[in-house]
Structure 1
Amino acid sequence: MWERIRRVAASDRISGLIMLGFALAGLVLANLPWTAHLFETISETQLAIPYTNIDLPLGHWAQDGLLTIFFLMVGLDLKQELTTGSLSNPKAAAVPMLCAVGGMLVPPILFLSVTALYSRFAPPGPGLEQIANGSVFSFSDIAQGWAVPTATDIAFSLAVLALFAKALPGSIRAFLMTLATVDDLLAIILIAVFFSSLNDWYWFLGIVVCAVVWALLVRMRRVPWIAVGCVGILAWVMMFEAGVHPTLAGVLVGLLTPSREMYGEASPRAERYHDKLQPFSSLLALPIFALFATGVHFDALTPALMVSPVVVGIIVALVVGKPLGIMITAWVTTHIGGLSLPRGLRVRDLLPASCACGIGFTVSFLIASLAYTDAELSAEARFGVLMASLIAAAISGVLLHRQSQRYEAEQASETEGKRSLEAMSEQVTTLSDGTQSVTIEAFTQEQLAQIKARKLREKIRQRRHDDRT
């Protein structure tokens, strides 16, 4: 049974659909008349840790507590990628790394531009903006959500890739994984810098002590798991008390875990721990977080919600801004910056995958709850993230499917050409005078045209690649 659970958790497609199902369930349960009150009661039930100042409702425990497992996975994955993975070779990973930066810079610009247009031209008047429930806020209040559309959800984007792009080359998947990994790192830095309110210095001293003890314990030949668990919980408490978002404790201890083989082990500890934690993250932490993150009650789910400045700004930023930033950066770095993509991959081939990067979801939900102190603004921001993610998933799904079909057609054409070459046979006959005659089957005009077209495509690709390098 445990092996089956691990296989389900390891499937980007299944785990992504489970998380989406929980997100939609949260939105429905929080707004149906006969379930809204019960859902709100459960979400607001307080749970405290004895002898500490930590007293949070269950909804916040899902965000600040359970989500730490996901961030621990991110930390372990980052450490492995930085040591032996795609990020260990900066030259090879330069283009997707820079594309991740471009994909995080353009969405805030578009979000602020859209909301500024609402502030200037839409009612109730200059400098003011009205959201779906009729409440009026200043442009500066709305602009606090600039960071919401910056993050990419790696699990969902890979799930879309797995669903619609089975025939795509591995270089596109590798590009998307590298980009999303760097995107996660940048989102972590953004949360730490812009959404932390620092408290007394001695809490940070406690964080350092926990980090050192963790690093020592996980490097022992026999890891004392009870002690490691206690240190991890203490690091989380220290982060919370220090004013830093506590989920970043998971990233910190993940980055301190060994990512190379030790004591004759068959695989690195960071990789093994990542695999063991995956079922808890994919099937427990993320679905429950998505349930409470989207479980926000609206006064009325009306069409006015879809034209709210916050919702429209986030949709435009994620659906348009993400792929726009990635594609512009990819073109500039390859055509002007002198960098190159993997052989056979062109900038235009990245468009479907870059559209998948508009799926914000997990980290965007978290930033939405941190960016806005007003509950209604936070609710609209999370609704905007959900709508933008669904739209981006639909667009990227269609584009990836078409791209996958094109690659399948090209592969079929090449396979047919090879078969034609293999089918060519020599027929040897002996004449009456003893002379041997060799007859070779000729190509048809259609076969010759296919071979010439294939060779021409290969020459063009090689020439483009040589020009770039």
Structure 2
Amino acid sequence: MGKTTGTRRGAWAAIRRLAASDRAAGLIMLGFALIGLVAANLPLTYHLFETIAETHIGIPYTNIDLPIGHWAQDGLLTIFFLTVGLELKQELTTGSLSNPKAAAVPMLCAVGGMLAPPILFMLVIALFSRFGPGEMGSLILTTTGSSIPFGEMAHGWAVPTATDIAFSLAVLALFARGLPGSIRAFLMTLATVDDLLAIILIAVFFSSVNAWYWFIGIAVCAGVWAYLVQLKRVPWAVVAVVGVLAWVMMFEAGIHPTLAGVLVGLSTPAREIHGETTPRAERYASKLQPFSALLALPIFALFATGVHFEELTPALMLSPLVIALIVALVVGKPLGIITTAWLSTHLGGLKMAKGLRVRDMIPTACACGIGFTVSFLIASLAYTNAELSAEARFGVLVGSLISALVSGILLSWQSKRFADATTDATR
């Protein structure tokens, strides 16, 4: 019995180490994303994949009846957002965001990095509409020959705004060995603020608010959660019920239900209580990390990229939507971040971390063009047209891969330069 328990503990410890590895978690998620794309388009597998994704599962005595693909997006992804909420609470209370002055530059860069991509996205879409069919070029031709109104395609302006913290940190882990820790801290702060802004975007622009009384229920759930998780002995069965109720009420209120995870995460104490040595928000986030990194995100990526194209050909790369998203992610993200960093330090009187210059952040800024998780989610929310939703997710995947490649090359060169400089300094 003791040997079995020890084996289980050893296996769980190995799983937690795997989930804590930025490199491993990022590669696993990318692998599932590519499997989804291939499985949804291979003649031998796409019917089975589509059948599984479209199989409906409902909650008894409610009007919640979703296909499995949507459960991965609306249900399972809540674990990821709960982890994000807990980490945000910790960062805001005792972490990098607790000192706004020290975090001012990356916080402003997060805003700049979210403003530039939609501008470039809209410019590219407008350029295609200029030469499209219809009066004054008001329609845009897709690769399948469909004519899409400019206004409908423009709904995806928010898709390239988000940075995927897991993937961007994975790229740093793979290629940025030997770089100062301040570069990773800069990216962590920027991506954390980016997550917060993305959450606000989803809540404001991609929710259709229903009956007001659901919001009373949501507030009550948040209050009860906050009370329960501050007790010396937390009644986890009751906490779980409250969390599920918050999710259901978010869904019924017309707000994207994954935000229930953020809400209850932000309601969790982030300072030590009852003589504990670590804050509960930090401890709970650590325990949830394996479920988020190795279960929720890979399965979400599998179904998010599992979109069927009539022809998965190189011509898809010429889709106006795909091109607009690639430009927005690969060019817009780093452009917005670096421009904001330069303005805030040269004109705003703010300072970078000790030893860092604005140009040192270019490789890391390119890594911020990796959209992935939240970008996939926004793409599915922004477009009701199945063709546009599929092309948007494909564009996010390609743009993210190009950003990862560019960033990886630049980070490798930067790491080598820092290593050479360190060697010269020690001689």
Higher relative contact order (CA 8 A, sep 6+): 2
Name the aligned partner's letter for residue 282 of structure 1: A
User: Please, which of 351, 355, 365 is the counterpart of residue 354 of structure 1?
Assistant: 365
What CA distance in whole angstroms lies between the structure 2 residues aligned with 1:395 and 1:9? 25
* Aligned match of 1:439: none
In the TM superposition, residue 354 of structure 1 has moved relative to its aligned partner by: 0.1
Name the aligned partner's letter for residue 165 of structure 1: A
What CA distance in whole angstroms lies between the structure 2 residues aligned with 1:237 and 1:361? 26
Higher alpha-carbon deviation: 116-125 or 402-411 = 116-125
In the TM superposition, residue 58 of structure 1 has moved relative to its aligned partner by: 0.1
* Aligned match of 1:329: 340
Name the aligned partner's letter for residue 19 of structure 2: A
Higher alpha-carbon deviation: 218-227 or 132-141 = 132-141
8 Å CA contact 1:65–1:247 kept in 2: the answer is yes
Tell me if 1:399 matches 2:410: yes
Name the aligned partner's letter for residue 136 of structure 1: S
* Aligned match of 1:161: 172
8 Å CA contact 2:105–2:341 kept in 1: the answer is yes
User: Please, which of 35, 48, 60 is the counterpart of residue 58 of structure 2?
Assistant: 48
User: Please, which of 292, 296, 306 is the counterpart of residue 307 of structure 2?
Assistant: 296
Deviations 1:107-151 (A, max 9, x none): 000000001000002457711111122211011111000000000
* Aligned match of 2:81: 71
In the TM superposition, residue 77 of structure 1 has moved relative to its aligned partner by: 0.5
Deviations 1:389-437 (A, max 9, x none): 0000000000000000000001111111xxxxxxxxxxxxxxxxxxxxx
Deviations 1:312-360 (A, max 9, x none): 0000000000000000000000000000001110000000000000000
* Aligned match of 2:192: 181
User: Please, which of 203, 206, 210 is the counterpart of residue 217 of structure 2?
Assistant: 206
Q: How many residues align?
A: 416
What CA distance in whole angstroms lies between the structure 2 residues aligned with 1:297 and 1:352? 33
8 Å CA contact 1:95–1:339 kept in 2: the answer is yes
* Aligned match of 2:278: 267
Tell me if 1:369 matches 2:386: no
* Aligned match of 1:379: 390
Q: Structure 2-normalised TM-score?
A: 0.97
* Aligned match of 1:108: 118
Deviations 1:196-255 (A, max 9, x none): 000001111100110010000000000000000000000000000000000000000000
What CA distance in whole angstroms lies between the structure 1 residues aligned with 2:241 and 2:143? 45
Name the aligned partner's letter for residue 242 of structure 1: A
Please give the residue correspondences for 1:240-259 in structure 2 after superposition, counting only pairs within 5 Å: 240-259=251-270
State the secondary structure of the residue aligned to 2:140.
strand
* Aligned match of 1:23: 33
What CA distance in whole angstroms lies between the structure 1 residues aligned with 2:225 and 2:41? 43
8 Å CA contact 2:36–2:305 kept in 1: the answer is yes
What CA distance in whole angstroms lies between the structure 2 residues aligned with 1:301 and 1:136? 19
What CA distance in whole angstroms lies between the structure 1 residues aligned with 2:411 and 2:134? 42
8 Å CA contact 1:30–1:36 kept in 2: the answer is yes
In the TM superposition, residue 280 of structure 1 has moved relative to its aligned partner by: 0.3
Tell me if 1:120 matches 2:120: no
8 Å CA contact 2:132–2:138 kept in 1: the answer is no
8 Å CA contact 1:318–1:360 kept in 2: the answer is yes
State the secondary structure of the residue aligned to 2:370.
coil
State the secondary structure of the residue aligned to 2:57.
strand
Name the aligned partner's letter for residue 211 of structure 2: D
What CA distance in whole angstroms lies between the structure 1 residues aligned with 2:174 and 2:133? 42
* Aligned match of 2:419: 408
- Superposition misfits of 4+ residues, deviation over 4 angstroms: 122-125
What CA distance in whole angstroms lies between the structure 2 residues aligned with 1:119 and 1:55? 38
What CA distance in whole angstroms lies between the structure 2 residues aligned with 1:156 and 1:208? 33
8 Å CA contact 1:22–1:291 kept in 2: the answer is yes
* Aligned match of 2:18: 8
* Aligned match of 1:449: none
Deviations 1:66-94 (A, max 9, x none): 00000001000000000000000000000
State the secondary structure of the residue aligned to 2:66.
strand
What CA distance in whole angstroms lies between the structure 2 residues aligned with 1:9 and 1:173? 18
What CA distance in whole angstroms lies between the structure 2 residues aligned with 1:114 and 1:236? 37
8 Å CA contact 2:270–2:280 kept in 1: the answer is yes
Q: Which runs of 5+ in 1 are unaligned?
A: 417-469
8 Å CA contact 1:124–1:130 kept in 2: the answer is no
* Aligned match of 1:34: 44
Q: Structure 1-normalised TM-score?
A: 0.88
* Aligned match of 1:454: none
What CA distance in whole angstroms lies between the structure 2 residues aligned with 1:167 and 1:190? 36
In the TM superposition, residue 303 of structure 1 has moved relative to its aligned partner by: 2.0
Identity of matched residues, %: 75
